[in-house]
């Protein structure tokens, strides 16, 4: 797809997070990126008697509606890219004549179904052997554990969520590399499926489709999709960093390699960008993960529970009839003196939905710390705990990777939280550059624009383009003064 460099192009980014989804329209030309939110829709776990699921059919209908609106706003719409959360998948029938039929709604990664099978997996392949191959942080919901919890995988193919949506849009099945790297079945060094590991785990040979890199043309919209959306012409769907964190890292406006990033939303992904994986035992002991980024890079990072704890706290208060807004709670938290109680946000008790204030109280009580009681104290406790944990993970990333970290970039929804940004700067002793908030959608659009030939160059050239078109805010350690950079 060669277009003249310097032209303008309109592209749709389908960006699904764990709590909401949206279709964004990006208009790109050198030195300019304009993002418009076309359609936003809810997402979240659906609890049924047998566990937690995603409403994938509802999401697909919302995406079609968003693409319809995007095309109406930009009749010259040239392409579509999809990014979502990681690890989860849909099973489709691979039996002759079944036509790729979906077999049930995909499970939600917060479902506890993997707990009984983790030891079974480790009896086949020990944890240190797994890490030597896939380089992944141990998380109970990694895809290989979910596969072990499936009653039967015979005659089925697994498509990760962005690949499943891409299949429904184009009729073609692929496994985009950045998301495939979260399954635990991708070789961290080669970037392809590790066949010996797949065989050791007894998984069917045809379970996984071929791996493709970001920037691959999956296919054009099918006739049925064009009819459903009113799009009367062929539009390609191309792969981007389909793991939303991979797209978010593209959207980090760093100037050189000596940076750490925090992609902060439901999860806080804290790490550095490397050229090769770190597969040492020290890295495994620190529970760092090696996931793929664009251009063959490695996202070397730790998952931290993130603002999920805050959003669940607010949801609990709402259910209990406790009135108050997020902004009001943050203002109350800012008035709480420093040095209060903290807890480990990565504790397993904070993974599942539920009464977070009660869990925080229990964690503080068990650690012999004062129990926060007012909403302001509880929110301050959450933010202090996250800031301290983020700072510790940044120091770990520098120590384990050997990459010097001079500046921390925070992107995503957490970049709006001025109190959190200042607390992170104070905790890590480095400047924190906040923004862009829409880094994931921007990263999605940038990779699409390069695939279409509107932009040229490597990831640094994409970031240079990003810096000319966005605004950030810098927080200095132990100081309230902030500076805006155009």
CB burial of 171-194 (b: ≥16 within 10 Å; e: otherwise) equals bebbbbbbbbbbbbbbbbbebebb
Distance CA 52, CA 68 (A): 30
Name every residue whose Cβ is closer than 8 Å to that of residue 468 and which is 6 or more positions away in sequence: 31
Host H or E run for residue 51: strand 51-53
Do residues 263 and 249 make contact, with C-beta atoms less than 8 angstroms apart?
Answer: yes
Query: So which residues are the catalytic ones?
Result: 244
Instruction: Judge contact between 337 and 296, C-beta under 8 A.
Output: no
Residue 239, CA distances (Å) to 231, 236, 444 in order: 20, 10, 9
Contacts of 473 (CB under 8 A, 6+ apart): 415, 421, 433, 434, 435, 482, 483, 484, 485
∠ CA(313), CA(396), CA(251), 5° rounding? 65
Q: Alpha helix locations (H) across 271-341?
A: 281-285, 308-319, 326-334
Instruction: Please list, in sequence order, all residues whose beta carbon lies within 8 angstroms of the beta carbon of residue 186, skipping any fewer than 6 positions away.
Output: 134, 177, 180, 192, 193, 194, 211, 292
**Coil, strand or helix at 390:** helix
Q: How far apart are CA 154 and CA 467, in angstroms?
A: 49
């Amino acid at each position: 797809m060669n277009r003249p460099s310097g032209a303008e192009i309109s592209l749709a980014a389908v960006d699904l997070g764990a709590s909401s989804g949206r279709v964004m329209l990006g208009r790109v030309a050198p030195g300019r990126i304009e993002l418009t939110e076309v359609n936003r829709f809810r997402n979240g776990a659906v609890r049924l008697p047998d566990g937690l699921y995603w409403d994938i059919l509802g999401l697909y209908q919302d995406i079609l509606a968003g693409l319809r609106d995007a095309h109406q706003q930009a009749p010259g719409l040239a392409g579509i890219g999809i990014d979502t959360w990681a690890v989860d998948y849909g099973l489709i029938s691979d039996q002759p004549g079944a036509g790729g039929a979906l077999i049930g709604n995909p499970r939600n990664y917060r479902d506890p179904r993997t707990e009984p099978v983790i030891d079974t997996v480790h009896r086949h392949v020990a944890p240190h052997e797994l890490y030597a191959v896939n380089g992944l942080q141990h998380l109970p919901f990694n895809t290989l554990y979910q596969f072990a919890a499936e009653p039967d995988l015979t005659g089925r193919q697994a498509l990760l969520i962005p690949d499943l949506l891409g299949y429904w849009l184009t009729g073609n099945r692929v496994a985009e590399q950045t998301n495939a790297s979260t399954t635990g079945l991708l070789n961290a060094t080669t970037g392809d499926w590790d066949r010996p590991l797949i065989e050791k785990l007894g998984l069917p040979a045809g379970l996984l489709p071929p791996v493709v890199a970001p920037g691959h043309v999956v296919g054009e919209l099918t006739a049925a999709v064009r009819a459903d959306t009113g799009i009367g012409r062929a539009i390609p769907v191309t792969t981007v960093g389909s793991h939303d964190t991979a797209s978010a890292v593209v959207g980090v406006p760093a100037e050189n390699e000596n940076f750490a990033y925090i992609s902060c939303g439901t999860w806080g992904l804290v790490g550095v960008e490397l050229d090769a994986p770190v597969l040492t035992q020290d890295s495994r002991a620190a529970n760092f993960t090696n996931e793929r980024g664009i251009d063959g890079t490695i996202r070397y990072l730790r998952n931290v529970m993130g603002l999920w704890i805050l959003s669940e706290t607010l949801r609990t208060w709402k259910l209990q009839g406790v009135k108050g807004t997020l902004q009001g709670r943050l203002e109350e938290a800012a008035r709480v003196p420093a040095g209060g109680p903290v807890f480990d946000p990565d504790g397993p008790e904070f993974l599942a939905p539920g009464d977070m204030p009660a869990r925080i109280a229990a964690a503080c009580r068990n650690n012999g710390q004062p129990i926060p009681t007012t909403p302001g104290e509880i929110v301050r406790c959450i933010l202090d705990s996250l800031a301290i944990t983020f700072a510790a993970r940044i120091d770990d990333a520098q120590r384990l990777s050997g990459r010097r970290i001079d500046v921390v970039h925070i992107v995503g929804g957490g970049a709006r939280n001025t109190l959190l940004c200042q607390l992170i700067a104070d905790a890590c002793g480095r400047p924190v550059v906040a923004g862009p908030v829409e880094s994931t959608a921007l990263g999605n659009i940038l990779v699409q624009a390069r695939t279409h030939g509107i932009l040229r160059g490597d990831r640094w050239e994409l970031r240079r383009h990003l810096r000319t078109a966005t605004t950030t805010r810098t927080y200095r350690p132990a100081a309230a003064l902030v500076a805006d950079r155009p």
